[in-house]
Structure 1
Amino acid sequence: MSTETNIDGGPHIPSHGSHELGMAPMPKSDDIYDRLPSHRKVIITCVLTFCGLLAPIGSTTVLGALPEVASTFNTTGSIINSTNAIYLVFMGVSPCFWAPISQVYVRRWILISSALLFFAFSLGTALSPNLPAFFVFRALTALQGTSLLIVGSSCIGDIYRPTERATALSWFLTGTLIGPALAPFIAGVIVTYRSWRAIFYLQAAWGGLATVLAFFFLPETIHQKRSHELFGLSVWKKATRLWEMTNPFRVLKLYRYPNLILTAAASSSLVWNMYPFLTLIRYIINPRFHLTTPMQSGLFYLAPGLGYITGSFMGGWWADHTVKKWIKIRGVRVPEDRLRSCIPFIGVAIPGSLLIYGWSIEKEVGGIPLPVIVMFLQGCAQQFCFPCLNTYCLDVMQSRSAEVVAANFLVRYLFAAAGSAVALPAVDKIGIGWFSTITAAFLLLTAAGLHCTVLRGESWRDKVDGRNQNETEKVSTVPSVESVTQDEKEHA
């Protein structure tokens, strides 16, 4: 194996047969990350963070106005809440289509067109004349919005080195966490004084602003696009090859890797906790503390939101710091070492906060300050987990980063949809205390899975790659143990 470095700073893998497969060789230097000056990278990260805010904020805006929307369409709050589950299902499914396309063609125009369609479908939601139209436009909004998350994560991976990208990704992910927390508060304020339709007019305005920002400030970041493989082919061969490259089942095949399954499970446990947690606030906080208006209960959403913001200042830095620490210990960079940074939070801090929250509400102890404090701590702890898990997906398989992130988001949002759908019936049946206990057990189980991934993930990847080496289309992964470039040594 050659000792040249690839774009991740690891050893370059010679492209045996790559031209027969029609695949361009990967760049042999990490100079690709120096194409843009630092200030441009900051601007791009800010634009992507705003774009990444859209789909998540759309996933919970309706939570602050469930009774009002239900009254308009002469239905129940549970039926309107089911639109949230459908929204999250479409958020989970759509990455299977967007991720492969973003690797074949370009990232920039996919992001711009998705933001534009998000604007259009949000406007359609605001103007919905009946319940079926409301369902359809909500689903179409989610279908577009998730590509902003997938493409945005890939853009971060395109412009930042592995030892830097968790910090940038932490800021990008801030939008995905703050959005769901703050949206119900904003919705509560709006419906206190205006019609619920104003919520979606505002959402449409955000989509329009994201379109403008992406058009003017987002350059193309992809290192190599695969569309060149289609040049010179007949129409039939071109169509066949294009299907191979954009087939949504490519994403599902990544679950041959146990390390990706366990990482996705960890992300899923976090959103299983997060979305039911947010869904239930108005239903359990209002009766517990005798609140009467949407805005009053909406104030409780500020606690986790502020926790997400606070965690953003440290979560990504902590993940990158852990990587640099283990580079010094080993002398090499192993992708799984990054996961060490989040295990204490997903295994101790978040389950502990959740148990205190659930049982304090169930037993009516502690007054208002106790749930507010633990909601803040839980939000802060989640920001030490998501940047780590998402960056691991970028590190471990750089050449298919969009698809790996899509595989993670697929499972993540399907669990979010399930959690949102079962939260109210489950709490009605077993109470918030036991529901929190079950969720805490889920978190502990996935923390154990991450620990196993740290210990054995490298050998798992080597084993799967060994089985795949004779397949027609090889999976190109980051090597199990990566040599460290001089640049990474300096950063560490």
Structure 2
Amino acid sequence: MKDAEMKIESVGSDATVEQLESALSSTPKDAADQYTPLDWALWRKYYIVALVSTFTLMAQMGSALVNPSFVTIASDLHVTVEEASYSITIYMLFAGVFPLFIAPFANVYGRRPLYLFFTILSIVGFIVAAVSPSWGGLIAGRVISAIGCSIPLGIGAATICDLFPQGQRGLPMGIFAWATTNGPHIAPLAGGYISQAYGWRWCNWISAIIEGGLLLLAIFTLPETLVSDNPDGEAKRSAMQRMLYFGKIVDRRIQLRDFFLPLRLVKYAAVTLPCIMYMVNLSYGSPLFAVTGSFISASVYHFDLGQTGLFLGLPLTVGCVLGELSAGWVSDLIINTYARYHGGYRKAEARLYLLPLVLLTAIGTATFGYCIEERKPWIQAAVCMAVSGFGTQIATTVTYTYCCDSYPSQSSDVSVVINLLKSLFAFNVGFYALPTADQLGFTAGFTIFAAISAAVTIPVFILIIYGEKIRRTQGNPSSSASNSQ
């Protein structure tokens, strides 16, 4: 431990988080510290990333499998198509808000118990939605399933930060971010054909079945990743004992203020500016198409349910895949190249060099609106959606990695704030997207949405130059409630 203290002293009292992490990266660990997820085999880390990302993917797919079926749901339950779209927006709202109230438990009792318990809750919710004969029952089931599926969305990024140091987070965080963004895009590909062949209720049944399979995998293969404050005792437990252990990982009391502590991060520019960029670009690069696509497909292109699913899902999925191929590993390359020329110091702002690509969201959204109003061939509209998806994926990966790099000890809270702001903003899209397009036209309406996306992206460029200085001036949040690393 003396070596570690000397390394900390060597970087100075005003050292940033990245400098401290860099200084400690080569420090030998005491024997009692050997049990840490940072030291696990790479294959094991990426298995956990894959499993958590699959949970996240299914959480998002569960919200969107019914997207192509809004017209059918409206007819079956005697509501309007706009009201039918609320089944996805209400899901987004609860999936975003609920992690705020569960994050303190994740930081004390660990990640594993929450993944298990809330997956069971999600299964119950999807079953309720599948069997409900009324509109109210469907909404109740969607709320329960959203709460159950909120956990991977809320603590998934923190789980990845448990496993990887700063210079290695870009790729795994990109995988997680891709799952976060693309669940709603992949879902309609299957949802349209499921609804067409078996009815819209089976979209909820299938979600329940897949969540059940993931639950079994998690029970037997998902270990705890939160670092214990008693590493000596943790190391003495067998692998089976650690999997069966349910209790405090960090020995401290949960207080009422802990449930609101994540919100303190809103005052930090390195969190707030990227989060605003992310919530707007994601909302106008994904949910906007989801809540308007069923109407557009039926009224403009006269697609059936299967074709509607393909139209809603395939372009955005392709765009986001290409976006992630240009994001996660590239941001790792950029930040590690920066470190090579700066004495091993990994500056978080180096990841923001990808920001210009985020502006593709605005370009794709504006041109999509033009294609719809002018009744252009569907392939042109699909290309515009893919361009928007590309920019949206860049925004997602950049936001998660940069914010977690800036405040790694608060990565669990960072993840909660990102998900909360995104969900609160996206929740409202379903209430005004179609009315705006109806009153102003798709060209003007979608151009306004695109302009807002671009406007909130530009201020983040300031962080490239002044971000480190701003973070140093504002200081680091207290880590008393966030022990994610």
Interval containing the TM-score (normalised by the shorter chain):
0.7 to 0.9
Please report how far the alpha carbon of residue 216 of structure 1 lies from its aligned counterpart in structure 2 after TM superposition: 1.7
Please report how far the alpha carbon of residue 7 of structure 1 lies from its aligned counterpart in structure 2 after TM superposition: 13
Mapped to 2, the partners of 1:194 and 1:175 lie a distance apart of 26
Instruction: Name the structure 2 match of 1:481.
Output: none
Whether the 8 Å contact between 1:280 and 1:424 is mirrored in structure 2 is yes
Whether the 8 Å contact between 2:270 and 2:403 is mirrored in structure 1 is no
Instruction: Name the structure 2 match of 1:452.
Output: 462
Mapped to 1, the partners of 2:224 and 2:93 lie a distance apart of 29
Mapped to 2, the partners of 1:9 and 1:389 lie a distance apart of 17
Mapped to 2, the partners of 1:376 and 1:225 lie a distance apart of 46
CA deviations over 1:174-205 (Å, ceiling 9, x no partner): 22222101222322111212121111000101
Instruction: Name the structure 2 match of 1:320.
Output: 332
Please report how far the alpha carbon of residue 211 of structure 1 lies from its aligned counterpart in structure 2 after TM superposition: 0.7
The answer to whether 1:281 aligns with 2:293 is yes
- Decide whether aligned partners of structure 1 residues 476 and 51 sit closer, same or farther in structure 2, where only a CA change above 3 A counts: closer
For 2:432, give the aligned amino acid. V
Please report how far the alpha carbon of residue 111 of structure 1 lies from its aligned counterpart in structure 2 after TM superposition: 1.0
Instruction: Name the structure 2 match of 1:19.
Output: none
Mapped to 1, the partners of 2:383 and 2:6 lie a distance apart of 53
- Decide whether aligned partners of structure 1 residues 2 and 422 sit closer, same or farther in structure 2, where only a CA change above 3 A counts: farther
The answer to whether 1:177 aligns with 2:181 is yes
For 1:10, give the aligned amino acid. Q
Q: Identify the match of residue 109 of structure 2 among 105, 109, 118.
A: 105
The gaps in structure 2 that reach 5 residues or longer are 24-29, 231-247
The answer to whether 1:428 aligns with 2:438 is yes
Please report how far the alpha carbon of residue 356 of structure 1 lies from its aligned counterpart in structure 2 after TM superposition: 1.9
Please report how far the alpha carbon of residue 8 of structure 1 lies from its aligned counterpart in structure 2 after TM superposition: 7.3
Secondary structure, counterpart of 2:157 in structure 1: helix
Mapped to 2, the partners of 1:250 and 1:197 lie a distance apart of 39
The answer to whether 1:334 aligns with 2:350 is no
**What pairs with 1:87-486 in structure 2 (closer than 5 Å)?**
87-224=91-228, 227=248, 230=251, 241-244=253-256, 247-273=258-284, 274-291=286-303, 293-300=304-311, 301-331=313-343, 332-341=345-354, 343-347=355-359, 349-365=360-376, 367-465=377-475
Please report how far the alpha carbon of residue 265 of structure 1 lies from its aligned counterpart in structure 2 after TM superposition: 0.2
Whether the 8 Å contact between 1:117 and 1:141 is mirrored in structure 2 is yes
For 2:153, give the aligned amino acid. L
Secondary structure, counterpart of 1:272 in structure 2: helix
Mapped to 1, the partners of 2:32 and 2:118 lie a distance apart of 32
Q: TM-score when scaled to structure 2?
A: 0.85
Whether the 8 Å contact between 1:55 and 1:145 is mirrored in structure 2 is yes
Q: Percent identity?
A: 24
Mapped to 1, the partners of 2:473 and 2:124 lie a distance apart of 46
Please report how far the alpha carbon of residue 290 of structure 1 lies from its aligned counterpart in structure 2 after TM superposition: 3.2
Instruction: Name the structure 2 match of 1:53.
Output: 57
For 1:66, give the aligned amino acid. F
Please report how far the alpha carbon of residue 12 of structure 1 lies from its aligned counterpart in structure 2 after TM superposition: 6.5
Please report how far the alpha carbon of residue 151 of structure 1 lies from its aligned counterpart in structure 2 after TM superposition: 2.2
CA deviations over 1:403-439 (Å, ceiling 9, x no partner): 1110111101111111122212111111221222112
What is the Cα-based RMSD across aligned positions, in Å?
3.0
Whether the 8 Å contact between 2:18 and 2:347 is mirrored in structure 1 is no
Mapped to 1, the partners of 2:85 and 2:481 lie a distance apart of 43
**Number of residue equivalences:** 450
The gaps in structure 1 that reach 5 residues or longer are 15-25, 232-240, 479-492
Please report how far the alpha carbon of residue 382 of structure 1 lies from its aligned counterpart in structure 2 after TM superposition: 2.5
Whether the 8 Å contact between 2:277 and 2:453 is mirrored in structure 1 is yes
Whether the 8 Å contact between 2:18 and 2:406 is mirrored in structure 1 is no
- Decide whether aligned partners of structure 1 residues 405 and 2 sit closer, same or farther in structure 2, where only a CA change above 3 A counts: farther
Whether the 8 Å contact between 1:166 and 1:319 is mirrored in structure 2 is yes
Please report how far the alpha carbon of residue 397 of structure 1 lies from its aligned counterpart in structure 2 after TM superposition: 1.4
- Decide whether aligned partners of structure 1 residues 476 and 297 sit closer, same or farther in structure 2, where only a CA change above 3 A counts: closer
Please report how far the alpha carbon of residue 264 of structure 1 lies from its aligned counterpart in structure 2 after TM superposition: 0.8
- Decide whether aligned partners of structure 1 residues 181 and 120 sit closer, same or farther in structure 2, where only a CA change above 3 A counts: same
Mapped to 2, the partners of 1:413 and 1:108 lie a distance apart of 24
For 2:349, give the aligned amino acid. E
Whether the 8 Å contact between 1:465 and 1:475 is mirrored in structure 2 is no
Whether the 8 Å contact between 1:103 and 1:400 is mirrored in structure 2 is no
Whether the 8 Å contact between 1:54 and 1:179 is mirrored in structure 2 is yes
Whether the 8 Å contact between 1:158 and 1:222 is mirrored in structure 2 is yes
Mapped to 1, the partners of 2:366 and 2:141 lie a distance apart of 37
- Decide whether aligned partners of structure 1 residues 33 and 358 sit closer, same or farther in structure 2, where only a CA change above 3 A counts: same
Instruction: Name the structure 1 match of 2:88.
Output: 84
For 1:297, give the aligned amino acid. T
Q: TM-score when scaled to structure 1?
A: 0.84
Whether the 8 Å contact between 2:95 and 2:153 is mirrored in structure 1 is no
